[in-house]
Amino acid sequence: MEYRNIAIIAHVDHGKTTLVDGMLTQTMELGHGQEIAERAMDSNVLERERGITILSKNTAVEYGGVKINIVDTPGHADFGGEVERVLGMVDGCLLLVDAAEGPMPQTRFVLRKALQLGLKPIVVVNKIDRQDARPEEVVDLTFDLMAELGASDEQLDFPILYAVAREGKAYGDLDDPQDDMQELFETILWQIPAPEVALEEPFQMVVANLDYSDYLGRIVVGRVRRGRVRRGESVNLIHKDGTMTRTRVAQPFTHLGLKRIEAEEVGAGDIVALSGIEDAQIGETVADLEDPKALPIITVDEPTVSMVFQPNTSPFAGKEGKYVTSRHLADRLRREVQTNVSLRVEELKPDEFQVSGRGELHLSILLETMRREGYEVQVSAPEVITREIDGKKHEPVEHLVIDVPEEFASSVIGVLSSRRGNLLNMEMQGSRTRVEFRIPSRALFGFRTQFLSMTQGTGIMNHVFDGYAPWAGEFKTRQNGSLVASEAGSAFAYSIWKLQDRGSFFITPATEVYVGMVVGEHAREQDLNVNVCKNKKLTNVRSAGADDALNLTPPRKMSLEDALEYIGGDELVEITPASIRLRKKVLEPGMRKK
């Protein structure tokens, strides 16, 4: 059988996963009997909730007797570890660009990786049914971006298709719209090179992804570079240090649609899954027993942000979670490192772990997954990982693109400049302004909430890791102190009402609080200890019913990302399956002063 292996790359929300849905729907009508759900590739619960792709996944469609393996990659740079290893499995890419927004920062990140690997791009301009669509201009911007990223002449001679992925349409001529994706499939077969298929050579495959099944155990996914392997055949697993382990392929699988299909034998050129190889890690090689040769190990960019994870030690510890000890936490982090290639875990003390990842979102997705599994954990504020380059301290920097209504542009630019941002570009687009900055990664901690309130929720911001630059010096990312509970108990509406002029609250009446818990944000710079558990004294004259008339400002609801962005250096976020609380590292007010 002939193969084509392609990755779909794009910025967040430009329609990658929807395009795959369309491709599946149009080829699956051939009687494979599979129902295609909307955004079928986003199978993870968090992916469906947030509308983003976190894990790269593969599927396959058949068209004209050719099997097209499709890998759906994440658009967020935080999941760049996913992107880097899957690009090694493919020979070409579909670059998907929004017809109105044009190429965005995270398009740049994945595209740079793809061009460096010499992949052949096909540009698909999606959402051309938008009222503000500007397809010709977007194609020019995409060409400029590729040229800037060092694309070869062959890569710059890319075919262009226009699509409405949601309606399952893709075609090459704007003036001659089609009702299906036939032209897209034809372009893939004609443009993307077929993989070299050397079936008679010794078997060789690098592990690019890991999966797990309760029935089959660990499943390794990768592209077969050469040779073939049968069910039950013995193979060598070549580890990163060069040592080998003899093991056996229990069951090979190929992909079609959303299903894994059992196969007697799999061969070169195909993207396959093998069960039975229990000790495999990402980047290692599964090779022939008689003639084992290792493939180059997959390398992934280093982490840029770290946090300290600890078991929960607050007065409410153990009340809401199932896994609460440091042993549980250590086991869970060890398991995560096996499949999450861009994560690093280092044990600082027996009950303290430094977890480093590619960004706040990368780490917050891990925390959200853990709390849903029943873990209780407390984490410190995120910190950037610095490097020593030529004897000087360097820090990670981001390429930031902001799109705001014209009237808010100057105040946003002012705040970013005070956080050591360098203005690169500014252009007007109708009534909105697009501003580009190069800014230290740590300057963006806590900026999102401030940005949304400054622009009244109308601003859009996107950023992507852009290398290292000399340390930019100290600056303030948080202007206000915290309101900290000085008494334990249940919060009363009366106390919150009395304290409203001191700041904004994160809690509602009847919330259980403990001493040292952060209950709100102070209107001034320093922290303030407050008692929210004090009720009004009732007398013959003042009845309990009079409380009903209290006019309380609605509390600020803190999501996990908001909490991680908000906390200061002396604070922690307490994360349990039922709650997200903010607290001081030292709970007792007297001890904090010391």
CATH class of 387-470: alpha beta
Q: Known binder of ligand: residue 126?
A: yes
Copy the structure tokens of residue 175.
């003036």
pLDDT in tens, 416-456: 888 888 999 888 877 888 888 999 988 888 787 778 778 88
Copy the structure tokens of residue 420.
């050591």
Q: What pLDDT, on a 0 to 100 scale, did the predictor assign at position 545?
A: 57
Bridge partners (DSSP) of residue 213 are 217
Cβ-based neighbours of 246, under 8 Å, separated by 6 or more? 234, 235, 236, 237, 289
Taking alpha carbons only, the member of 48, 45, 42 closest to residue 16 is 42
CATH class of 2-191: alpha beta
Higher pLDDT pick, 124 / 15: 124
Q: Known binder of ligand: residue 187?
A: no
pLDDT in tens, 309-346: 999 999 998 898 898 999 999 999 988 887 676 788 99
pLDDT band at 485 (very low <50, low <70, confident <90, very high): very high
Q: What pLDDT, on a 0 to 100 scale, did the predictor assign at position 403?
A: 83
Rounded-to-integer distance, Cα 55 and Cα 72, Å: 8
CA 496 and chain centroid, separation:
37
Q: Known binder of ligand: residue 16?
A: yes
Tokens 């007065």, residue located: 315
Q: What pLDDT, on a 0 to 100 scale, did the predictor assign at position 149?
A: 83
- Fold classification of 482-593 is OB fold (Dihydrolipoamide Acetyltransferase, E2P) (2.40.50)
Q: Known binder of ligand: residue 568?
A: no
- Fold classification of 305-384 is Alpha-Beta Plaits (3.30.70)
Q: Known binder of ligand: residue 18?
A: yes
Cβ-based neighbours of 303, under 8 Å, separated by 6 or more? 342, 343, 344, 356, 357, 358, 385
Copy the structure tokens of residue 514.
């403990």
Helix axes 447-454, 409-418, angle to 10 degrees: 160
Q: What pLDDT, on a 0 to 100 scale, did the predictor assign at position 105?
A: 64
Count CB atoms within 10 A of the CB of residue 264.
Answer: 9
Beta strands in 421-502 (DSSP E): 422-429, 432-440, 460-470, 482-485, 489-490
Pair 77, 12: CB distance under 8 Å: no
pLDDT in tens, 95-119: 888 888 887 766 676 788 788 888 8
Residue 283 has pLDDT above 50, yes or no: yes
CATH 2.40.30.10 fits 204-287, yes or no: yes
Q: Known binder of ligand: residue 67?
A: no
Q: Known binder of ligand: residue 14?
A: yes
Cβ-based neighbours of 156, under 8 Å, separated by 6 or more? 143, 146, 147
Bridge partners (DSSP) of residue 349 are 352
pLDDT in tens, 534-573: 887 766 665 555 555 678 888 988 888 888 888 888 899 9
Element (H, E) at 404: strand 392-405
Q: What pLDDT, on a 0 to 100 scale, did the predictor assign at position 82?
A: 56
Domain extents for the chain? 2-191, 204-287, 305-384, 387-470, 482-593
pLDDT in tens, 142-167: 888 888 888 888 888 888 888 888 78
Q: What pLDDT, on a 0 to 100 scale, did the predictor assign at position 36?
A: 40
pLDDT in tens, 395-418: 999 888 888 888 888 899 998 888
Do domains 387-470 and 482-593 share one topology? The answer is: no
Pair 530, 497: CB distance under 8 Å: no
